[in-house]
Amino acid sequence: MLLRLRSPLSGPDLDRFQGLARERGYDVHVLDRRGLLVELVRASGRTPLGEPGDRVAFEDLACVAAVLDSADAPERHERTPERADTVVRVGAAAFGGAQVALIAGPCAVEEEGLLIEIARAVRAAGATVLRGGAYKPRTSPYSFQGLGARGLEFLARARAETGLAIVTEVLDPRDVERVAAVADLLQVGARSMTNGALLSEVAASRKPVLLKRGVAATVREFLLAAEHVLARGNERVILCERGVRGFDKVTRNILDVGTVAHLKRVTHLPVIVDPSHAAGRRELVLPLAKAGLAAGADGLMVEVHPRPAEARSDAAQAVSPADFAEIARHARELVRLDGRRLALPAADGHVAPTPVPEHRP
Amino acid sequence: MLLRLRSPLSGPDLDRFQGLARERGYDVHVLDRRGLLVELVRASGRTPLGEPGDRVAFEDLACVAAVLDSADAPERHERTPERADTVVRVGAAAFGGAQVALIAGPCAVEEEGLLIEIARAVRAAGATVLRGGAYKPRTSPYSFQGLGARGLEFLARARAETGLAIVTEVLDPRDVERVAAVADLLQVGARSMTNGALLSEVAASRKPVLLKRGVAATVREFLLAAEHVLARGNERVILCERGVRGFDKVTRNILDVGTVAHLKRVTHLPVIVDPSHAAGRRELVLPLAKAGLAAGADGLMVEVHPRPAEARSDAAQAVSPADFAEIARHARELVRLDGRRLALPAADGHVAPTPVPEHRP
Amino acid sequence: MLLRLRSPLSGPDLDRFQGLARERGYDVHVLDRRGLLVELVRASGRTPLGEPGDRVAFEDLACVAAVLDSADAPERHERTPERADTVVRVGAAAFGGAQVALIAGPCAVEEEGLLIEIARAVRAAGATVLRGGAYKPRTSPYSFQGLGARGLEFLARARAETGLAIVTEVLDPRDVERVAAVADLLQVGARSMTNGALLSEVAASRKPVLLKRGVAATVREFLLAAEHVLARGNERVILCERGVRGFDKVTRNILDVGTVAHLKRVTHLPVIVDPSHAAGRRELVLPLAKAGLAAGADGLMVEVHPRPAEARSDAAQAVSPADFAEIARHARELVRLDGRRLALPAADGHVAPTPVPEHRP
Amino acid sequence: MLLRLRSPLSGPDLDRFQGLARERGYDVHVLDRRGLLVELVRASGRTPLGEPGDRVAFEDLACVAAVLDSADAPERHERTPERADTVVRVGAAAFGGAQVALIAGPCAVEEEGLLIEIARAVRAAGATVLRGGAYKPRTSPYSFQGLGARGLEFLARARAETGLAIVTEVLDPRDVERVAAVADLLQVGARSMTNGALLSEVAASRKPVLLKRGVAATVREFLLAAEHVLARGNERVILCERGVRGFDKVTRNILDVGTVAHLKRVTHLPVIVDPSHAAGRRELVLPLAKAGLAAGADGLMVEVHPRPAEARSDAAQAVSPADFAEIARHARELVRLDGRRLALPAADGHVAPTPVPEHRP
């Protein structure tokens, strides 16, 4: 690990720095004449500690200006030769490696009959996971906040009916147990990406986690949010790019396909895209879905509603079941070009049990 | 209220729209020939409902493209002729109207002795509220997360010693009761601005709330986050601008003084600035503090540490007590030019009881 | 055209507004009771004027707050039922409609031999246009500014050798004639997108124009920059999205694929992407190229260099000829999925004459 | 100068690197074991070359990943112990050091009588420089582009009448001579900040230059744009911060006061702010003007119009002469707090000759 220290460097600064290095099993090599560039090397004859927090521990020291190269202190999210692709399985779906899958459903759960109608339609079109918000994060206190526990019941019913796995958002650490009793995949939304208490609880639930990128989160912040889950021993995290906030409003957000491609190179975790929130308008959902997969995404999450004008939230960006079938058709063709495979709904329509974690290789 | 409806407009859309108008006591006037521009007017002979959620209720309808003018449906945060300036009092400090006050202290609470040393120093320099994080929101799970309950004890001790009011951040809705038992002012940090569960609990605590703007939050989102607290009957909210994320890293964030000036015009709530997080480097804290006050801010929140190099978080942006005294001196002169007054620490150093809410006029 | 006027509206404001409406052949219909919402309708019994500047003429009035709907005043770049897809042909390449083509070459023209080596390699891989900067816009006055006129000579030689059409940037209105004597397609770079004097001169040259989006240009600004060329009678404009400036530096810029998809819906002009400048790192060029085409782009512009480490500018983002061949292979497969066709280099390697403009239908 | 080289480092890379070091008079010290960290030190026994382009020359090498510390290779804009504050004098105005001055006038020059009316009003209120656009950069080709040469005549007349110095924008390198014949200060607008051909010509004119920051320009890009002028021997450059593009539209742009404070620390050039373009609305101009000066700005440029509703451009942000007088009064008080002095119009109203450059100390 190569570090730049801040000038001027006091005696106590240096003591603190060297103490931490000793504690973590590093030798300190000073590289330049002012003593501000140092290289930390694993002390010879010692087993490497392999503690993933080493990089952050040094970054946090007041006298460290920057970590220039952190190759010696991998964090748990990092792609390494030994850890190339984590495949996260959720029901019949699998995300990562050569596996691609589609998540679809309404923004919010509204009525049981409607939910089951949508579930059947998206299953028929190729989705393997049903999305639907029971607890909705809303900008205004006067907006519809979701059906809560009743919404969870409807989701459970939809799973029983269609065999689709369920992903739904959890907002409050006190709700995690209740939501995890129904959901096969727990969604942490963009507005909650920095909610450490929530990340802690979803990690503890042992369920797979769908973590959405904050609307202005850097890649490092996004990966460290995932690290909050991984560090607590839950390694089934799917990252979701859903658009970053830009300066123009012709699209709701800017789908950051460069970050999708970059993430596939630096982390072993699967990465999916949410073209609906990025687009904000249904006519842009298909091209953004295609762009996301072409950039390397391991899946899509799409808002679908049979009569979007009646939806109680995000109506402008929901596509019809027929449009979703078109998206699924394009997805199938696109991933085939790369030698990847789109997961199909289980043939019999029964609930597939959520399997134990799998990591590749 | 003037609304633009989405084309094409179906029969069910129109029914839903007119139903909501009736329910809320509005008559619908269609303005253009395509029937897409409508004006909602209070039904004659009715007491105005005065429900602040009217605007959002219509915004949430799928068939409403935009609310062009919301003058008829004020929300609780809105400045009106009857509600010009809310003054929030916290101990000897008062924020709003002609009152300006200074908050200062370390980023994180680390040791009792050090905290009291800092508290005395900032009190001597003119601060009336002591800041200090017991629970720290951290980007990485490997960073120092604060002392938690022990930190709260130290803060209580510092208050007893110096008479300064205490502001400290709360991160988890389950901690609100515990933190509110010590804090005179509850801080909701930038990363928690969209945490509805937390906003709900701090509202319920009846304590004044310091709400920081999210790093990429629009003004509307910021005000609606405050509305989450106001709508639950807690009207003592102080807004804090702390810099928005920009494209250049020479400053940590961009202190958005235009938004400070704009907020003072559209809301009756007090607005302060945090020059430390905006600057990210101590040499810029003074000019940004001055800029914030000159733009109309009702107070400052400044990170102070006697030996910044030893701080366990945000060391680069903490100023020394001597620098803070300089900031306080400039603050005093600047606000005097505007006919405003900087709150002074209570003469005797005893704990001033947190008073009941006051609203002006 | 539906307009919102600013309140308060004075007598002279109204006179000015009505005068302009009369002058442009519109009747004014006032829609709301305050007289602030007005609809402009073509005066009955008159031939529609069809002047594209109508929208802007009203936007520019001090008393006009916003043009809410401009359907009656199309500008020249707008897609209409009569003007669905402009196909711009440059040598063997065609951009737009079902036609896709690849532009490739070095960032800057450096040596004749090297340029011809690259030209042959990219031609073999499937490029139909050779890029290469003779005049380089540089952030620093101390950077390599390009070979200038000698670079143009080398480009002419490369065209003679390979039959590839040439695109090269022009920076100074005084150079347009000289550059247009060699280039088949004149590039206006992102830093020049707002350079009206330059846009004027390239329009006058009658050559096709490749217009890159400014690094923080809105879609409306981008389209109005194109309108500067179209308004002067040159309708062969290709738009190029090359990434917008974001808040994170893991990619050089954010390739805005949502805007590509949006542009394809609102303008008849062809749109290509430059994955090299968006990525800033060669390993991201392929996924971004694929994402751009999947979003609907009509072509790519890629920086290629056989020994990138020797390039005098933008070395980190240049791909090798072998990598470019891989990009071309993916491009071919991707556009075939959409029923589109990738242009191939002319069989004989001779210079194809630049054809006259073609507009579809 | 401390540099990080890119890995892998080839033989030719190293040759090229060492050749440049030799050529510029540096010895190369390799600091780490991989040979990727190198320090360049002035060769002993040699006169330092003092060439300001050294930093960029190395940055431009393909094998150089980053310049970590450039202390040895100052560029001309850099503040050094020997070069603390450049004072640029324009007529009775002086910018920099302890000198502050106000520029005011209409966005565009429209009529002679009106211009002289405004000139007299802003002079009476305390402006020492009159602004007014004869050539206007416009987003749309259909907008009013300014009066051109006739506008210049009106400006010359206004100077003769009032003794105010004149600043006006030049857009086209071919117009520099004509504009410089009238203007005392040549404005390069935000959209032209990257227009190298124009920067070259204004440098050659020997007139002082007012350089506005591009709407999304980094500080480094802004300073290098100034360097384009300085490197050609014209050292009278005033930097102008006018707001950067943000994600919210409640203000037109975000006035970046942190960058103002930062610039005052890193460059010796004077820095002013344009609160009008940042605000976009007249009610925010006063608070932003105060914030800019409080952050350390050496002056203001304000749009003033006696009847803003009649202005042909940027009407919403122009303030009245009375409001400008209020701004000037606040400016006077604010800068006095810092021991600075606001320039006053010359007593007799005659044209003060533009003096020769002055540099401090």
Indicate if the pLDDT at residue A358 is higher than 60: no
Segment B339-348 mean pLDDT: 85
pLDDT at residue number C352: 45
Q: What is the mean pLDDT of residues B158-185?
A: 97
D275 preceded by a cis bond (ω within 30 of 0) = no
Residue C89 three-state SS = strand
Contact A354, A90 (CB under 8 A): yes
The SS3 of residue D212 is: strand
The verdict on C39 touching B (C-beta cutoff 8 Å) is yes
The answer to whether the CB of D30 falls within 8 A of the CB of D4 is no
Q: Distance of CA C32 to CAs A273, B32, B41, Å?
A: 44, 8, 12
User: What mean pLDDT do residues C13-33 have?
Assistant: 86
What CA–CA distance (Å, rounded) separates B51 from B48?
Answer: 8
From CA A44, how far away is CA A48, in angstroms rounded? 9
Query: B246 to chain C: which residues are within 8 Å by CB?
Result: 247
Contact state of A247 with C247 under an 8 Å Cβ cutoff = no
**Choosing among A30, A32, A39, which should be mutated to test the D contact, i.e. which has the most D CBs within 10 A?**
A32
pLDDT tens-digit readout, A49-73: 457 788 888 888 888 888 877 767 7
Q: How confident is the model at residue A202 (pLDDT cuts 50, 70, 90)?
A: very high
Strand pairing class (A341-342; A99-105): parallel
Q: Which has the higher per-residue pLDDT, C191 or C50?
A: C191
The answer to whether residue A47 scores a pLDDT higher than 50 is no
**To 5 degrees, how large is the angle CA D59–CA D60–CA D63?**
80
What is the 8-class DSSP label of residue C351? P
pLDDT level of residue D359 (50, 70, 90 thresholds):
very low
Structure tokens at C179: 């550059």
**How confident is residue A355, by pLDDT bands cut at 50, 70 and 90?**
very low
A142 CB within 8 Å of a chain B CB: yes
CA distance C271 to D118: 46
With contact defined as 3+ CB pairs under 8 Å, the chains touching A are: B, C, D
Instruction: Provide the total of helices (H) and of strands (E) in chain D, helices listed first.
Output: 11, 16
> For B295-332, what is each residue's pLDDT tens digit?
999 999 999 999 876 777 777 889 999 999 999 999 99
Contact state of D258 with B255 under an 8 Å Cβ cutoff? yes
| Phi–psi pair at D263, nearest 5 degrees | -60, -40
Which one of D76, D142, D242 makes the best mutation probe of the C interface by having the most chain C beta carbons within 10 Å? D142
D315 vs D148, higher pLDDT: D148
What pLDDT sits at residue D60?
Answer: 82
Q: In chain A, what residues touch D246 (CB-CB under 8 Å)? A: 247
The end-to-end CA distance of chain B, in Å, is 27
Which residue in D76, D140, D174 has the most chain C C-beta atoms within 10 A of its own C-beta, making it the best mutation to test that interface?
Answer: D140
Summarize the confidence of residues B32-58 as an average pLDDT. Answer: 73
Mean pLDDT of A235-257: 93
Say which residue, A282 or C45, is predicted with more confidence.
A282
Q: Residue A138 and residue B10: Cβ atoms within 8 Å?
A: no
Which of B4, B32, B68 lies closest to C39 in CB terms?
B32
- Nearest chain A residue to B196 by CA distance is A137
Point out the residue among D262, D288, D293 whose CB comes nearest to the CB of B261: D288
Tell me how far apart the alpha carbons of residues B109 and B313 are, in angstroms, rounded to a whole number. 10
Strands, sheet with A2-5, edge to edge from the N-terminal-most edge strand: A26-30, A37-42, A2-5, A64-69
Put simply, whether C202 touches A (Cβ < 8 Å) is no
> CB–CB of B258 and D288 under 8 A?
yes
**CA B291 → CA B30, B260, D268, D296, distances in Å?**
46, 10, 21, 9
Beta strands B129-131 and B341-342 are unpaired
Cross-chain CB nearest to A139 (options B63, B221, B311): B221
**Under a CB-based contact definition with an 8 Å cutoff, are residues B345 and B123 in contact?**
yes
Amino acid B30: pLDDT: 85
Q: Where are the alpha helices (DSSP H) in chain C?
A: 11-23, 54-59, 112-125, 149-162, 176-180, 196-204, 219-230, 257-266, 275-279, 285-294, 321-337
Answer whether residue C49 shows pLDDT above 80: no
Residue C32: closest C-alpha in chain B: B31
Confidence of residue D138 (pLDDT cuts 50, 70, 90): confident
Using an 8 Å CB-CB cutoff, list chain D residues near C225: 139
Angle at C334 between CA C281 and CA C235, to 5 degrees: 85
Q: CB count, 10 Å around CB of C323?
A: 18
Q: Which chains lie within 8 Å of chain B at 3 or more CB pairs, if any? A: A, C, D
Residues in chain C within 8 Å Cβ distance of B37: 2, 31-32, 37
Instruction: Calculate the average pLDDT of chain B.
Output: 90
Report H helices in B212-305. 219-230, 257-266, 275-279, 285-294
Spatial neighbors of D39 by CB under 8 A, at least 6 apart, are: A32, A33, D1, D2, D3, D28, D29, D31
Average confidence (pLDDT) over B221-249: 95
pLDDT at B360: 42
Task: Answer whether D248 touches B (CB < 8 Å).
Answer: yes
CB D30 within 8 A of CB D37: yes
Q: What is the pTM of this model?
A: 0.92
Give the β-pairing of C93-95 and B237-241.
Answer: unpaired
**Pairing relationship of beta strands B93-95 and B85-90 according to DSSP bridges:** antiparallel
C288 burial type by CB count under 10 A (0-12 exposed, 13-18 middle, 19+ buried): buried
* Residue at token pair 């004075």: C10
Confidence of residue D337 (pLDDT cuts 50, 70, 90): very high
Nearest to D117 by CA among D337, D343, D286, D304: D304
Distance CA C209, CA C185 (A): 6
C142 touches chain D (CB under 8 A): yes
**C-alpha to C-alpha distance for B218 and B256, rounded to whole angstroms:** 11
- Secondary structure class of A341 (helix, strand, coil): strand
CA distance B279 to B245: 11
| Interatomic CA distance for residues C20 and C28, integer angstroms | 10
Q: Which residue out of C55, C140, C179, C211 would a mutagenesis test of the D interface target, given it has the greatest number of D Cβ atoms within 10 Å?
A: C140
**Res A150: pLDDT:** 97
Which chain D residues touch C195 with a CB distance below 8 Å?
A: 191-192, 195
Q: How confident is the model at residue C205 (pLDDT cuts 50, 70, 90)?
A: very high
Phi, psi of D5, rounded to the nearest 5 degrees: -95, 160
Q: Which residues of D touch A32 (CB under 8 A)?
A: 2, 31, 37, 39
Of D53, D141, D228, the CB nearest to C231: D141
What are the tokens at B272? 């302060």
pLDDT band at A351 (very low <50, low <70, confident <90, very high): very low
- Helices A321-337, A285-294: axis angle to 10 degrees equals 20
Q: Is the dihedral angle over the CA atoms A28, B305, B318, B140 positive or is it negative?
A: positive
Tell me whether the omega of the peptide bond preceding residue D270 falls within 30 degrees of 0, making it cis.
no
On chain D, the residues whose CB falls within 8 A of the CB of A3 are none
Q: How far is CA D259 from CA D75, D243, D297, in A?
A: 19, 10, 10
Average pLDDT of the residues of chain A: 90
Calculate Rg over the CA atoms of chain B.
22
- The amino acid at A96: G
Helix (H) or strand (E) holding A161, with range, is: helix A149-162
Residues B140, A13: C-beta atoms closer than 8 Å: no
Q: Which pLDDT tens digit goes with each residue over D11-57? A: 888 888 999 998 888 888 888 777 788 888 877 555 444 577 888 88
User: Which residue among A137, A139, A196 places its CB closest to the CB of B171?
Assistant: A196
